[in-house]
Structure 1
Amino acid sequence: MRAKPFLRACPILLVALAVPAAAQAAPRSAKARAAAGVTIDYSVNLAGIPIGNAQLTGAFEGPRYRMDVSAVLTGLVGAVTGGQGSARSSGTLAQAPLPSAFSIATRTSNSGIAVRMALASGNVTQAEVTPPLLDTGDRVPVTAAAKRGVVDPASALAMPARTKGALLDPENCNRTLPVFDGATRFDVVLSYGETREVQKPGYSGPVLVCNARYVAIAGHRADRPGVRFMEENRDMSVWLAPVEAARVLVPMRIAVRTTLGTNIIEATRWTQTGTSTAKGSEAAPATVAEASFSGR
């Protein structure tokens, strides 16, 4: 298995290939929602074989949020590749996540890649990819327009309620996530499938099952078989569970059919907090320097 593409895509998968859009607009100052946090441990399986572990930690304080994602390949795949990666994003929640900073770093035994982005009001203001992508001449250009009105892959994991009602209202599945990862721009289109009951350590109750579809926009190589496969792929879904204190949903399970078999990222433990009163203010636009990431 090629570890680097998997690790780079991991936050996107945890987003439901979804990753996020929104509750009532949060106040930008004075009293806000209670502070809340959630940590979810995941197992990662490909074609029924365990290949790794991942963790998502979300912190929500008033309108502000921070999302941390990490993944590591284990077993024979991990021994051969040494693959691991981490991502972090932060910003504010309004009618959708408005990230201010995003960074991701992945590495294998013989290579690595890092991305840093700064954003303001959903628009990318600065971005760095290290090492730069090779100019193959066949990539769909990433225009300035493609970098406006976007979310990063980690921010996409926090999906605010779309209605004022229950977080598990089926309408909260129906959304399009405009994702930019620093190099490629794509949409993840979610639609309601069903509601089901799940039991996991730390969580017992209903989840929304959303169908997912991938739409390539820019930065991809249009003639590559893998791109066509993903655009035609209808075997993708994400289960969303509520974080009530923050009025957001986060992935409990993601299933994506790949050319090597079905990749399933599923929660093995759910830990949630949310007790104190918090104050929040609007996040200032970040710079690339502020988007620097401390890898785990």
Structure 2
Amino acid sequence: MKLAVASLLAGLALAACPAAGAGAASLDARYEVSLLGITLGTASLSGGIDGTGYKLDMVARLTGIVGGVTGGRGSGAATGVLVGGKLAPKTFAVSSANSSESRTVRMALAEGTVAGIDIEPPIDAKPDRVPLNDSHKRNIVDPLSAFLMPVNGKGHDGACNRTLPIFDGAARYDIKLSSAGTRKIELDGYSGPVFVCQARFVPIAGHRALRPSTKFMAENRDITAWLAPVAGTDMMVPVRISVKTMIGTAVIEASRFRVDPGVTATAARR
């Protein structure tokens, strides 16, 4: 699984949660990954949130013929605290591998700024790679923490209207979200409304400027995310993410979305 694709799919939500009244819950979600309607693999998201902190874990792997050929798999973890009414990520780590390469990214963060980073093996230097500087590592959120979406006490309707400043360790980009209505869904653990967000990908630094895929994604108008409420909290989490790619539409869609209100992030860590 390529780091950039995984980060984009994970980065379609911004973590910035109110400390007061945030509530507590544990989350257990399972997603199916498909391309052109063909199931390619699965992903799981688990963890917990409460009024003081959160912990999230994600595991993804390709299955079937594609998985057998590529060996594609990935995992990630993120932790953070709530400070001054906003979610503040503290740690982020992601590892991905396939039959030809593997990479691990680890970041430490403080007050929305990258305090330390390790990428192994390092990202290759390329003439068309847009340079990163210190400003690109401030006021950001990591992709996995970004799966937590606040409603800010103003009702769920405003959940989509925001710009998300994402840094995945290798690239800095914005995801611009806007509201595209609501739907009703029914799946294991949740039945009810979801809020549909239209998304735009805006590369800022760390990307390959001359790559056709960069131009394609910057002009892409077919990216959406569906958000469902996490019972017991003031947050929402994506249950469906759809991204048009150069070879077809990729979809990550929940088949299970189970929430246990009242279970704290501390308890979920055990």
Q: Do both proteins adopt the same fold according to a TM-score greater than 0.5, normalized to the shorter chain?
A: yes
Q: How do 1:275-286 residues align onto structure 2 when only pairs under 5 Å count? A: 275=262
Verify: 1:12 aligned to 2:8, yes or no. yes
Are the aligned partners of 1:11 and 1:69 in contact in 2 as well (CA < 8 Å)?
Answer: no
Are the aligned partners of 1:200 and 1:268 in contact in 2 as well (CA < 8 Å)?
Answer: yes
User: Could you say if the C-alpha distance between residues 277 and 177 of structure 1 is closer, same or farther in structure 2, counting changes exceeding 3 Å?
Assistant: closer
Are the aligned partners of 1:160 and 1:248 in contact in 2 as well (CA < 8 Å)?
Answer: yes
Q: 2:33 aligns with which of 39, 44, 62?
A: 44
Q: How do 1:1-296 residues align onto structure 2 when only pairs under 5 Å count? A: 4-5=1-2, 9-15=5-11, 18-24=12-18, 26=19, 33-93=22-82, 95-162=85-152, 164-166=153-155, 168=156, 170-275=157-262
Tell me the distance in 2 between the aligned counterparts of 1:274 and 1:228.
Answer: 42
Q: Which amino acid aligns with 1:91?
A: G
Q: Following TM superposition, by how much is the alpha carbon of 1:174 offset from its aligned partner in structure 2, in angstroms?
A: 0.6
1:154-187 Cα deviation digits (max 9, x unpaired): 011111113x233x2x211111111101110001
Residue in 2 that maps onto 1:289: none
Q: Following TM superposition, by how much is the alpha carbon of 1:9 offset from its aligned partner in structure 2, in angstroms?
A: 2.5
Q: More deviation in 199-208 or 244-253? A: 244-253
Aligned length: 265
Which consecutive aligned stretches of 4+ in structure 1 deviate over 6 angstroms post-superposition? none
User: Could you say if the C-alpha distance between residues 223 and 92 of structure 1 is closer, same or farther in structure 2, counting changes exceeding 3 Å?
Assistant: same
- Using the size of structure 1 for normalisation, the TM-score is 0.85
Are the aligned partners of 1:52 and 1:72 in contact in 2 as well (CA < 8 Å)?
Answer: yes
Are the aligned partners of 1:97 and 1:151 in contact in 2 as well (CA < 8 Å)?
Answer: no
Secondary structure at 1:10's aligned position in 2?
helix
User: RMSD over aligned Cα, in angstroms?
Assistant: 1.8
Q: Which amino acid aligns with 1:126?
A: G
Residue in 2 that maps onto 1:290: none
Are the aligned partners of 1:33 and 1:246 in contact in 2 as well (CA < 8 Å)?
Answer: yes
1:260-283 Cα deviation digits (max 9, x unpaired): 10001100011111125789xxxx
Are the aligned partners of 2:182 and 2:196 in contact in 1 as well (CA < 8 Å)?
Answer: yes
Q: Following TM superposition, by how much is the alpha carbon of 1:35 offset from its aligned partner in structure 2, in angstroms?
A: 2.9
- Using the size of structure 2 for normalisation, the TM-score is 0.93
**Identity within the alignment, %:** 45
Secondary structure at 2:128's aligned position in 1?
coil
1:95-117 Cα deviation digits (max 9, x unpaired): 44311100001111232100000
Are the aligned partners of 1:97 and 1:158 in contact in 2 as well (CA < 8 Å)?
Answer: no
Are the aligned partners of 1:99 and 1:122 in contact in 2 as well (CA < 8 Å)?
Answer: yes
Q: Which amino acid aligns with 1:113?
A: R
1:229-279 Cα deviation digits (max 9, x unpaired): 000000000000011322111001000000110001100011111125789
Q: Which amino acid aligns with 1:20?
A: L
Q: More deviation in 229-238 or 51-60? A: 51-60
Tell me the distance in 2 between the aligned counterparts of 1:277 and 1:99.
Answer: 17
Tell me the distance in 1 between the aligned counterparts of 2:253 and 2:30.
Answer: 8
Tell me the distance in 2 between the aligned counterparts of 1:278 and 1:88.
Answer: 13
